Chain A
């Protein structure tokens, strides 16, 4: 168990040392994941809300598909994005393979269904409550969506955090499309995979502890913001 407790000491030491390589890796991890989650929300929130609100043919099927896509295996997503971005693939000329942009695309593909599917459920429940009122006031479709998205914002914040959790912990997709290139596409999870394969288990675990602390900090930050926003609302 030496290595187990040693990992915590090691994680602490790494953080204290502010190693520039480690800071670069953490920075890239955050940039890739936050961008991917942000873009996934831009697509997933309106999409999920629309499916949760409006009646149209194939609505149930679409909801089932969105739910199923929450289980997308990261390696499969990585492979698909690789085939699309490869020099021999349809988007090859863009030269995006082995760049952070490729990693953002892969994570966005993974996270968007999660955001959309969970949003659909939240908004569908809310719509049941609001629909009569909307109808009696003659509210237009666009205003209905924005009003419900706004009223459900705290639940949707948790939805976004679920997406963040998936993206920040993911290794299978980003290692294929990013290539784990030192100083270019190396992020926390791919570094952990690399150190594990080198047999440096304690260092790998220490990096895992740091990743967990970052996820904790992001969640705590969002919760604090939410609390202060809620306080302000009643002040």
Chain B
């Protein structure tokens, strides 16, 4: 009797485990290594169903920091790379890991800060001057600190300001070592300035009393690129399907879809595919 009860339990487990499986056999899919900003902003949730409707290709997005996305793609764990750090992307292609790189779209970075604005930078359009003020005031600044595209862009700006913020590391300069959303959660929690891409900021749900402090400086421009992982290096790369996705994203229709995506009535990404490729 007891044995029977246990057998019933085992049978129940086995049934859920081996029988009730949805089919994962569908092979017409590609893996895209991308960044948290494209996923957290909801862009992919909007774009991919349109693409699937048209081509029947399922796009599986792995959203990590640009640094990790590039490493994963270099290992061959993806068919397409869709990130935002032009120098690293060009190196990826130059190393023979990617076929070619094309501009897709851009958005811009902003620096957000608490309403009381301890460094007095609110309303500024000059990022370099603002960063100097933040460093002088030793006002808390939360950095991604994770080698992501945003982190790389932030480091370029500190360099332009002639400041090594890591001297204040652990004091006013706080490296969270995590994604954009997590860094915003941490930053808003401790009253720190945070540099974020505008798309993530607009769709972020935990803003508190935070506002955009610095915006509109041309050097805050944030370019996204798309690259097909080189099928000659990784033979399993689905070059045809991957290229179809890239062609669509760069096409008039794909570009229009990117422009159409809005959160709270605001356009998050600005398509610029024909502006150049390398």
Contacts and interface: CB of A to CB of B under 8 A. Distances in A.
Interface of A: 27, 30-31, 34-35, 38, 86-89, 92-93, 95, 97-100, 153, 179-182, 184, 194, 196-201, 222, 225, 228-230, 232-233, 235
Given A87-B75, A198-B181, 12 more contacts: A31-B21, A34-B17, A87-B236, A92-B76, A100-B24, A181-B31, A182-B60, A196-B182, A198-B40, A198-B204, A199-B184, A225-B5
B1 A87 contact: no
Contacts of B152: none
Contacts of A198: 40, 181, 203-205
B53 to A, nearest CB: 15
Give the dominant DSSP class at A's interface.
helix
A199 B185 contact: yes
A233 B61 CA distance: 52
Contacts of B185: 196-197, 199, 201
Contact of B206 (A88, A182, A201): A201
Contacts of A95: 236
A197 B36 contact: yes
Contacts, number: 96
Contact of A88 (B40, B75, B181, B184): B75
A233 B1 contact: yes
20 contacts: A27-B20, A31-B20, A38-B14, A86-B77, A88-B77, A95-B236, A97-B77, A179-B60, A179-B62, A181-B60, A184-B24, A196-B185, A197-B179, A198-B205, A200-B205, A225-B9, A229-B1, A229-B5, A229-B6, A233-B1
Nearest to A226: B5
Interface string B70-95: 00100111000000000000000000
A87 B234 contact: yes
Given A38-B13, A232-B2, A181 B21 contact: no
A43 to B, nearest CB: 15
